[in-house]
Amino acid sequence: MIRVIELFAGIGSQHEALKRANIEHEIVAISEIDKYASRAYELLHGKVNNLGDIRKIDKLPRADLWTYSFPCTDISLAGRLKGFEKGSNTNSSLLWAV
């Protein structure tokens, strides 16, 4: 059984993918700040240990696999190509928190 941490978890698509691939796993923690996404996550997958804002996490439980689907708006035209440079403070630069 692999232990998984799902960062920027949203509604849990990585969790869902592991389920559909029949990969035995346990989600030991997620990081997600949006209350609606978190609610949807729990409705779809059950209660979960949400560590909240990734910028405020200083310790993670032991895990075998981390997944992350960081906000990508700023690397597209929709985000006016603001980019994801480290320290730039764009949403996409949250990638560096991983």
Q: Figure out which of the listed residues 4, 5, 11, 27 binds ligand SAM, where binding follows CB under 6 A.
A: 11
Q: Kind and range of the H or E element at 14?
A: helix 13-20
Q: Figure out which of the listed residues 4, 5, 8, 27 binds ligand SAM, where binding follows CB under 6 A.
A: 8
28 binds ligand SAM (CB under 6 A): no
The interface with ligand SAM within residues 32-91 (CB under 6 A) comprises 32-34, 37, 53-55, 69, 71-72
- The pair of structure tokens assigned to 9 is 């978890």
Inter-CA distances, 53 with 21, 59, 74, Å: 28, 12, 19
**Cβ atoms of 88 and 2 closer than 8 Å:** no
Which positions touch ligand SAM (CB under 6 A)?
Answer: 8, 10-13, 31-34, 37, 53-55, 69, 71-72, 94
